[in-house]
A and B are shown apart, each in its own frame.
Chain A
């Protein structure tokens, strides 16, 4: 028998314009265009696209894709539970929670003793709406770097939500319009508001409804959530209304009584970002790891080689070099089109109301 040679990382996974490709199993991870076989880390539309031949993902991610694209989003699908392993040829794929949004997973890719972890998008802060990130020791760690600059140190989310609740107490005659990405952030903000002891109903924009209903159906407690109708807007003084970011500056928000515009995003750390959007109450709440957590995670998984898919890749790669790790920016084009990964999301990037 011929001694099986140890693989080089690029034999196991190779960055291509379509996304990360595993030639030994002929699958793509989070492919940017339709492919025969796709492994999907989570439901944000830049990672989860419609039109593949087959999709392997967590049950929640598959449900979210079906909700957003319709049941025909793929020809065939297979659900995989957290911790479960699926073998394709000689490669083992294991899905592990990533702590980003409901159903989000890292994908552990392993063959001939070489282990690469594709973390997708992730965060380390506790989130009442999804399972926490689990670090997995590996040879190569594939990470995002959406907030890969030392200016992005996210404060505790509870303190940010306290600002919102203080403002509601201070201005009972005004309505508070909170922009939050419709998948994940909106539901997390609602859960955080509940954790802070706020008991009044929370109001939502139509574009947030489908996913919120799904979270509720999965047993995530968000308290009483009501869709705000056009005629009710005038009566929203003193209430909190959650809407997609694009609606904050829309005509839609102007019908509310003297609205205070808030926005929940890691980008709110940078003042110019808040001002560019006309945000009066910035809430620094991120669903991506900040600078300190990126570093802590890289140290924790113990990989010698770090591949950086998107975001502020140059800065993180530089830091890797300063601590003796091999950091490589892959400059994958196409991620960061939905939600927080895109600093300035356009109205067309959101679900229609």
Chain B
């Protein structure tokens, strides 16, 4: 366990991708089975413990430390595992330090009643770093800046192979991956990949910059709408014994098919499609809000299926049957996609239309007015354009020069900072979550601020330091972890807030909800009295909303 904790500790401070790769590869090379396999599983999200959850950690620490001091500390540190690791009352030499396999197998097999005692004994025996690593394992999110992809890349390097080779066999493997390591180290056969519907790493785009247009030749590119939904990969395949497997993956390879039986049932042909998950009613794309009703659901009700029918607007095809199409050009894949969809039929899948354009000026006009340029009633769900090079293959990751996104210009509004809260994760212990408002006429006729949204990014680290100081010095009220910051017409802080869209909402006092708000500029120069009024926002609501 100490060696694994050391690895996580080093990784958490190593900023360079190559540095991380070297650390992981070195660990995997020099650590025996099954330890290294469990470590790889931890880094790829392959360890799930039924009974060991964050709640267990909370209750263990609650028995040992003052609850007020715990909540103040947690608020400060912003990470449960780290808070507990630092606060845990030390009992050095209490027990023997456990090994990683002992911990993993213990967490897997121990019953609900024996688990608390087991975990507490380990925590007593470990030092601060060891406790932190153990708690990260239990709570299931390492947050050390290592993606599953990076860990697989490091593992593949043991055999001098690219990560895709590991990806191909991955879904047939189980921790501690003895057969994988044997193959990579040259003393075993390639593991049989018996998953007929594997995830294929997605191709991502770069944001286009002004200078790019001069370099790029319009006729070399196809344009499509960029949809405001969720990127998914729909994959279907058939086992040798005839059993069919249909899966729906997010862009990071997480499986979400169980929440979308309406889609998995409709995927009646084997293949792999790349597209946007949307909610469609009567042939029209619904708002992102409607899609959110379907996300993160364990149970799908008949009513939900009826009221929020899911849909995939496909823009690429990675496999047709067992044939891998990724090496073909975009134009060629597009033809294959059209053929596949016409064979598939039904209403659940359609093709994302291309935007005809002669030059960049014409595309700019289409982007500015999608409704008039072919998007019609779906224009509200368009968040910009995608440019894809016609001769480009489908490549994993974010390769340069093939795909570009050209987002719609964000809307901007000046808001006044009203409340601040400490953030979690990277920005923990700074006041980095901001609630801001705009002016309206209050019940008694006087102007008042009404909250319209919350944002926690868009500023630089240096700006964060300054806002944090502003918050600490201008606190007028404290509500638990929330600080109310001075917000008078002449005294306060104005943010220029950028957002993608606006919707009516009954959840917010203002009756409005912003989509994807972020701080675009800090207006230290602007008195709050000159910030925007609610009418300016209402004018931006889509017609009929």
Which residues of A does B touch, CB under 8 Å?
149-153, 269-276, 278-282, 312, 314-315, 318-319, 322, 333, 343-344, 346
**Segment 18-69 of B: residues with Cβ below 8 Å from A:** 65-66, 68-69
Given A270-B86, A271-B82, A315-B72, 10 other A-B residues pairs in contact with their CB atoms under 8 A: A152-B86, A269-B86, A272-B79, A273-B429, A275-B13, A280-B14, A318-B72, A319-B66, A344-B464, A346-B466
- Residue in chain A with minimal CB distance to B461: A276
Out of A153, A280, A314, A344, name the residue touching B13 (CB < 8 Å): A280
When the two chains form their complex, are residues A271 and B79 in contact, meaning their CB atoms are under 8 A apart? yes
When the two chains form their complex, are residues B69 and A319 in contact, meaning their CB atoms are under 8 A apart? yes
Q: Whole-angstrom distance between the alpha carbons of A272 and B78 in the complex?
A: 8
When the two chains form their complex, are residues B429 and A322 in contact, meaning their CB atoms are under 8 A apart? no
Out of B83, B425, B465, B466, name the residue touching A151 (CB < 8 Å): B83
> Quick one: given A278-B15, A280-B13, are A272 and B426 in contact (CB under 8 Å)?
yes
When the two chains form their complex, are residues A151 and B473 in contact, meaning their CB atoms are under 8 A apart? no
Q: Whole-angstrom distance between the alpha carbons of A151 and B131 in the complex?
A: 13
When the two chains form their complex, are residues B428 and A270 in contact, meaning their CB atoms are under 8 A apart? yes
Q: Whole-angstrom distance between the alpha carbons of A126 and B55 in the complex?
A: 40
Residues of A within 8 A of B462 (CB): 346
Q: Whole-angstrom distance between the alpha carbons of A271 and B83 in the complex?
A: 10
When the two chains form their complex, are residues B429 and A151 in contact, meaning their CB atoms are under 8 A apart? no
Q: Whole-angstrom distance between the alpha carbons of A272 and B423 in the complex?
A: 11
Q: Whole-angstrom distance between the alpha carbons of A343 and B69 in the complex?
A: 20
27 cross-chain CB contacts under 8 A? A149-B69, A149-B72, A149-B76, A150-B65, A150-B69, A150-B73, A150-B86, A151-B77, A151-B83, A151-B87, A152-B86, A269-B86, A270-B77, A271-B13, A271-B79, A272-B427, A272-B428, A274-B13, A275-B13, A275-B426, A279-B13, A281-B13, A312-B72, A314-B72, A315-B72, A333-B473, A344-B468
- Residue in chain B with minimal CB distance to A279: B13
When the two chains form their complex, are residues A312 and B76 in contact, meaning their CB atoms are under 8 A apart? yes
- Residue in chain A with minimal CB distance to B464: A344
**Segment 456-495 of B: residues with Cβ below 8 Å from A:** 461-462, 464-466, 468, 472-473
Q: Whole-angstrom distance between the alpha carbons of A31 and B465 in the complex?
A: 24
Q: Taking chain B's interface residues, is the majority helix, strand, or loop, or is none over half, making it mixed?
A: helix
Residues of B within 8 A of A153 (CB): 86
Residues of B within 8 A of A152 (CB): 86
Residues of A within 8 A of B72 (CB): 149, 312, 314-315, 318
- Residue in chain A with minimal CB distance to B127: A155
When the two chains form their complex, are residues A151 and B12 in contact, meaning their CB atoms are under 8 A apart? no
When the two chains form their complex, are residues B15 and A280 in contact, meaning their CB atoms are under 8 A apart? yes
Residues of B within 8 A of A346 (CB): 462, 465-466
Q: Whole-angstrom distance between the alpha carbons of A319 and B468 in the complex?
A: 26
Interface string of B300-322 (1 = CB under 8 A from A): 00000000000000000000000
Q: Whole-angstrom distance between the alpha carbons of A320 and B500 in the complex?
A: 49
- Residue in chain B with minimal CB distance to A281: B13
Does chain A have a CB within 8 A of B436? no
Q: Whole-angstrom distance between the alpha carbons of A270 and B78 in the complex?
A: 10
| Min CB gap B98→A, angstroms | 22
- Residue in chain A with minimal CB distance to B430: A344
Most chain B CB within 10 A, of A271, A275, A314, A318, is at A271
- Residue in chain B with minimal CB distance to A270: B77
Residues of B within 8 A of A150 (CB): 65, 69, 73, 86-87
Q: Whole-angstrom distance between the alpha carbons of A269 and B132 in the complex?
A: 12
When the two chains form their complex, are residues A315 and B69 in contact, meaning their CB atoms are under 8 A apart? yes
3 A-B pairs with the lowest CB-CB distances in the bound complex, closest first: A151-B86, A272-B428, A344-B465
Q: Whole-angstrom distance between the alpha carbons of A286 and B83 in the complex?
A: 19
Residues of B within 8 A of A279 (CB): 13
Q: Whole-angstrom distance between the alpha carbons of A346 and B427 in the complex?
A: 16
| Min CB gap A213→B, angstroms | 30
Q: Whole-angstrom distance between the alpha carbons of A138 and B461 in the complex?
A: 43
| Min CB gap A57→B, angstroms | 26
When the two chains form their complex, are residues A272 and B83 in contact, meaning their CB atoms are under 8 A apart? no
**Segment 386-436 of B: residues with Cβ below 8 Å from A:** 425-430
Q: Whole-angstrom distance between the alpha carbons of A150 and B68 in the complex?
A: 11
- Residue in chain A with minimal CB distance to B474: A333
Q: Whole-angstrom distance between the alpha carbons of A282 and B15 in the complex?
A: 13
Q: Whole-angstrom distance between the alpha carbons of A93 and B148 in the complex?
A: 63
Q: Whole-angstrom distance between the alpha carbons of A100 and B66 in the complex?
A: 29
Residues of B within 8 A of A280 (CB): 13-15
Residues of B within 8 A of A322 (CB): 66
> Quick one: given A149-B69, A275-B13, A280-B15, are A343 and B83 in contact (CB under 8 Å)?
no
Q: Whole-angstrom distance between the alpha carbons of A137 and B476 in the complex?
A: 35
When the two chains form their complex, are residues B73 and A151 in contact, meaning their CB atoms are under 8 A apart? yes
Q: Whole-angstrom distance between the alpha carbons of A270 and B473 in the complex?
A: 23
Q: Whole-angstrom distance between the alpha carbons of A153 and B462 in the complex?
A: 28
Residues of B within 8 A of A333 (CB): 472-473
Residues of B within 8 A of A273 (CB): 429
| Min CB gap B15→A, angstroms | 6
| Min CB gap B64→A, angstroms | 11
- Residue in chain A with minimal CB distance to B425: A272
When the two chains form their complex, are residues B68 and A318 in contact, meaning their CB atoms are under 8 A apart? yes
Q: Whole-angstrom distance between the alpha carbons of A344 and B466 in the complex?
A: 9
> Quick one: given A151-B86, A318-B69, A318-B72, are A276 and B426 in contact (CB under 8 Å)?
yes
Q: Whole-angstrom distance between the alpha carbons of A274 and B145 in the complex?
A: 14
| Min CB gap A51→B, angstroms | 21
Residues of A within 8 A of B83 (CB): 151
Residues of B within 8 A of A149 (CB): 69, 72-73, 76
- Residue in chain A with minimal CB distance to B428: A272
**Segment 252-282 of B: residues with Cβ below 8 Å from A:** none
> Quick one: given A151-B83, A271-B79, A312-B76, are A343 and B13 in contact (CB under 8 Å)?
no
When the two chains form their complex, are residues B76 and A151 in contact, meaning their CB atoms are under 8 A apart? yes
When the two chains form their complex, are residues B82 and A270 in contact, meaning their CB atoms are under 8 A apart? yes
Residues of A within 8 A of B429 (CB): 270, 272-273, 343
Out of A275, A281, A314, A319, name the residue touching B12 (CB < 8 Å): A275
Q: Whole-angstrom distance between the alpha carbons of A300 and B190 in the complex?
A: 68
- Residue in chain B with minimal CB distance to A343: B429
- Residue in chain A with minimal CB distance to B465: A344
Q: Whole-angstrom distance between the alpha carbons of A278 and B12 in the complex?
A: 10
Residues of A within 8 A of B73 (CB): 149-151, 315
Residues of A within 8 A of B13 (CB): 271, 274-275, 279-282
Residues of A within 8 A of B466 (CB): 346
Residues of A within 8 A of B69 (CB): 149-150, 315, 318-319
Residues of A within 8 A of B87 (CB): 150-151
Residues of B within 8 A of A276 (CB): 426-427, 430, 461
Residues of B within 8 A of A318 (CB): 66, 68-69, 72
Residues of A within 8 A of B79 (CB): 271-272
| Min CB gap B166→A, angstroms | 28
| Min CB gap B399→A, angstroms | 27
| Min CB gap A17→B, angstroms | 11
Q: Whole-angstrom distance between the alpha carbons of A281 and B15 in the complex?
A: 11
Residues of A within 8 A of B77 (CB): 151, 270, 272
Q: Whole-angstrom distance between the alpha carbons of A333 and B79 in the complex?
A: 27
- Residue in chain B with minimal CB distance to A273: B429
Q: Whole-angstrom distance between the alpha carbons of A344 and B469 in the complex?
A: 9
Q: Whole-angstrom distance between the alpha carbons of A270 and B85 in the complex?
A: 11
| Min CB gap A76→B, angstroms | 31
Q: Whole-angstrom distance between the alpha carbons of A273 and B78 in the complex?
A: 11
Most chain A CB within 10 A, of B65, B82, B464, is at B82
Q: Whole-angstrom distance between the alpha carbons of A314 and B481 in the complex?
A: 11
- Residue in chain A with minimal CB distance to B87: A150
Residues of B within 8 A of A270 (CB): 76-77, 82, 86, 428-429
